Amino acid sequence: MLKFQRSTLINSPVEVVWEFYERPDILQLLTPPWQPVQVIRREGGLDVGAISEFRLWLGFVPIRWLACHTKCEKPYLFVDRQRIGPMESWIHYHYFTPENGKTRLMDEIYYEIPGGTIIEFLIGWWVDSRLQEMFRYRHEVIQREFDTPHE
């Protein structure tokens, strides 16, 4: 099993960052525009049982990805798990930790690539680079949101 982690300090309290994640358009907002990903639906907010469905494109081949929220501890944590998708397994922890009036946002993902250890060895670096790129974008979007004064 492989692990990915990214952490960023956000200039806003936990409750405010959590509320930002509850936006109905959050998936569209946090999906990098250059990635071949289409948001199909999001239902249930961040609560247990909520679902997110995407269509990924590998060349001309569409791949369905359905994730279900399995844990929610408002405003500190929610967890989603792949039900249908390209990975053998995928569990994504979203942590919101108070830190001196700000929020330590951390994404932690445990995943397995289909094909076992040899395939993970051969293409794990590529998957990790895609995750680095995507979560760098996501965290930058969130940082900009809270570093920009609102009226």
Rounded CA gap, 72 and 91, in Å? Answer: 13
Surface-to-core class of residue 105, CB atoms within 10 Å of its CB (0-12 exposed, 13-18 middle, 19+ buried):
buried
Compute the mean pLDDT over every residue in the chain, rounded to the nearest whole number.
93
Surface-to-core class of residue 104, CB atoms within 10 Å of its CB (0-12 exposed, 13-18 middle, 19+ buried):
middle
Per-domain residue ranges for the chain?
A: 2-147
pLDDT, tens only, 22-35: 999 999 999 999 98
Amino acid 148: pLDDT: 63
CATH code matching the domain that covers 2-147, chosen among 3.50.50.60, 3.30.530.20, 3.30.420.40, 3.30.2130.10: 3.30.530.20
CB of 116 within 8 A of CB of 133? no
pLDDT, tens only, 123-146: 889 999 999 999 999 999 999 999
